[in-house]
């Protein structure tokens, strides 16, 4: 910088009292903005202000490089993360889809069918056990209902047969009473 001062006289007075930091948009001898630090120094009984500084061009270049890297790597990282998330979600939901397909095929015509339960030791395994227990209860209720209907049907056959016989006899006798 040669003999060009970096600090104003006011900055020198402040620098003699304590450390100061600042930025200059333009310093004589430099074509770019710079940052400085001024600290008081005692040497051989005299108090001086020591000034060190650096241009901000390196910082600007670093930020520009970072921006360029983020513009390129950011979308690529986003696509990779999205793809990985999609694959992981698909893999983790495969047991759910297996349970769904089996549940769609279960009917009263084929008793005893149950859902496949994955050995995951998590909510999915507990859900599979719970749904299978529900299917057990529904199957038991269906068996009970069918048994009740069969018993009721059997119990009603005899009284209905008797009523039918009595009606047929009554109709026969009513026909013979008209002949007289």
Are the C-beta atoms of 66 and 39 separated by less than 8 Å? Answer: no
Query: Over the chain, what is the mean pLDDT?
Result: 86
Share of the chain above pLDDT 70, in %: 93
149 alpha carbon, distance to own chain's centre: 49
Query: In this predicted structure, what is the pLDDT of residue 61?
Result: 85
Is the pLDDT score of 119 beyond 70?
yes
Q: Which of 12-16, 63-67, 171-175 has the lowest mean pLDDT?
A: 171-175
Answering whether pTM is above 0.75, one says: no
What pLDDT digit, counting tens, does each position of 143-171 carry? Answer: 999 899 988 888 888 888 888 898 988 88
DSSP 8-state class, residue 17: H
Residues 34, 37, 39, CA angle at the centre, nearest 5°?
A: 155
If you average pLDDT over residues 78-88, what whole number do you get? 96
What pLDDT digit, counting tens, does each position of 102-118 carry? Answer: 989 888 888 888 999 98
d(CA 21, CA 39): 9
Are the C-beta atoms of 54 and 27 separated by less than 8 Å? Answer: no
DSSP 8-state class, residue 96: H
Query: In this predicted structure, what is the pLDDT of residue 69?
Result: 92
Is the pLDDT score of 178 beyond 60?
no
d(CA 20, CA 32): 21
The residue ranking higher by pLDDT, 87 or 118, is 87
DSSP 8-state class, residue 148: H
What pLDDT digit, counting tens, does each position of 25-68 carry? Answer: 776 666 778 888 999 999 998 999 998 888 878 777 888 999 99
Work out the pLDDT band at 180, boundaries 50, 70, 90: very low
> If you search the block for the tokens 């900055």, which residue do you land on?
11
Query: In this predicted structure, what is the pLDDT of residue 131?
Result: 93
Q: How far apart are the first and last CA of the chain?
A: 149
């Amino acid at each position: 910088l040669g003999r060009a001062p970096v600090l104003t006289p006011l900055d020198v007075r402040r620098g003699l009292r304590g450390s100061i930091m600042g930025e200059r948009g333009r310093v004589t001898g430099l074509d770019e903005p710079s940052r400085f630090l001024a600290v008081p120094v005692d040497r051989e009984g005299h108090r001086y202000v020591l000034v060190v500084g650096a241009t901000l061009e390196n910082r600007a270049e670093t930020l520009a490089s970072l921006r360029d890297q983020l513009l390129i790597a950011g979308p690529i990282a986003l696509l990779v993360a999205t793809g990985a998330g999609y694959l992981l979600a698909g893999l983790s939901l495969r047991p759910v889809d297996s349970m769904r397909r089996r549940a769609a095929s279960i009917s009263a015509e084929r008793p005893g069918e149950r859902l496949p339960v994955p050995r995951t030791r998590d909510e999915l395994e507990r859900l599979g056990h719970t749904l299978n227990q529900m299917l057990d209860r529904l199957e038991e209720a269906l068996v009970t209902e069918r048994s009740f209907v069969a018993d009721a049907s059997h119990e009603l056959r005899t009284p209905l047969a008797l009523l039918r016989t009595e009606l047929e006899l009554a109709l026969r006798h009513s026909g013979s009473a008209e002949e007289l």
